Homo-oligomer: A and B are copies of this chain.
Amino acid sequence: MEPAAKIENILVLIEPAGDYQEELQRRFPESQLLFSSPGRVTEEEIEKADVILGNPPAGLLKGAERLSFLQLQSAGADAYTPKGILPEKTLLACASGAYGPAVSEHMMASLLSVYKNLPLYRDNQAARLWKCEGAVRSLRGEQVLVLGLGDIGKEFARLAVAFGASVFGVKRNLSEKPDFVQEVYSMEMLPEILPRFDVVACALPSSPETSRLFDRNMLRRMKPGSVLINAGRGSLIDTQALMEALQQGPLMAACLDVTDPEPLPAEHPLWTCRNLLITPHTAGGFLMEETFHRVWKIVLENLSLYAQGKEIRNRIFHG
């Protein structure tokens, strides 16, 4: 099949490119490839690009008149969706599907860690203290709610089922239900169903309707002794209300890979909640080798679809 259009300039901001640098050159021999990074890239380089692979700083996109396709390396695209960031004609796609294994495993590791009191044992280890920290929890027979059933949420749900939990989902758009999920609810149902769940795991992208979704009222609806996990966006949870829910109930614990504010300043009181596990937005990224290969696989496939004039995957509408 003939390419729909020759792509003149491809700007690659995904680092590292590794062996995929040669692979790109092999697949698109007639294109000019420029390899840079989000930190080093200039406005001039962006102005020349017909296609960008990776996440350019949104503030540098003003002069991107030639840009016809922006393929992000991230699962989220919210920095690029507001009107005026991208030219109207620019196709936008994210790398949803690449982060499922890494983020879901991180969420499960954090949850199990808290269930088995491992953060407390780590504190005791630093104090050279051999001391039992009491009862532990198990997912067996528990009710788990997953907010967001994209690749991250679905994979977390599958793992929770392997540990013996009954898993339910909440989706913004009701669609097909994976076999291992008992039932899928709409976002409007959340306040009503929330009190049933032992674990609430959030893997939602940032959006206006989910900002501060977990405010004081919502957190108070959670089941006494339940655990809240957030690996989506920090803005989902009201930090002050979370601290109260951790200190006075109903939460037993929380696991946050994202915070608000982020990064969390050293003087912030959230650091001192003992029943909270904080990781510094490290669930995703390229910290797990498989994610890197998954991102490149999605990027190369989508670029081929685009070059052939076919419908791209993971398309995000903007403006």
A binding-site residues for B, Cβ under 8 Å: 101-102, 105-106, 108-110, 112-113, 115-119, 121-126, 128-141, 158-159, 162-164, 263-264, 266-268, 271, 277-280, 282, 287-290
Contact = CB atoms under 8 A, between A and B. Distances in A.
Contacts of A122: 118-119, 122-123, 277
A43 to B, nearest CB: 28
Contacts of A128: 266-268, 271
B123 A277 contact: no
Given A109-B116, A113-B109, A118-B277, A101 B140 contact: yes
Contact of A106 (B108, B136, B139, B280): B136
B278 A125 contact: yes
B163 A118 contact: no
A118 B279 contact: yes
Nearest to A115: B109
Contact of A121 (B105, B158, B279, B288): B279
A278 B278 CA distance: 20
A102 B278 contact: no
The 9 A-B pairs of least Cβ separation, nearest first, read A109-B112, A162-B162, A130-B263, A128-B266, A109-B116, A122-B122, A128-B271, A130-B280, A113-B113
A54 to B, nearest CB: 19
Contacts of A263: 130
B290 A129 contact: no
Contact of A117 (B105, B140, B162, B282): B282
Contacts of A115: 105, 109
A133 B135 CA distance: 30
A196 B125 CA distance: 31
A100 to B, nearest CB: 11
Nearest to A131: B280
Contacts of A162: 158-159, 162
Given A105-B112, A109-B109, A121-B278, 4 more contacts: A119-B125, A121-B282, A122-B122, A138-B288
B280 A136 contact: no
Contacts of A136: 102, 106, 282, 287-288
Contacts of A158: 162
26 contacts: A102-B136, A102-B138, A105-B112, A105-B138, A105-B139, A105-B163, A109-B116, A109-B118, A112-B112, A117-B279, A118-B122, A121-B282, A122-B122, A123-B126, A125-B277, A126-B126, A128-B266, A128-B271, A130-B263, A132-B280, A135-B287, A137-B288, A138-B290, A140-B290, A141-B290, A162-B162
A112 B121 contact: no
A151 to B, nearest CB: 14
B277 A135 contact: no
A213 to B, nearest CB: 24
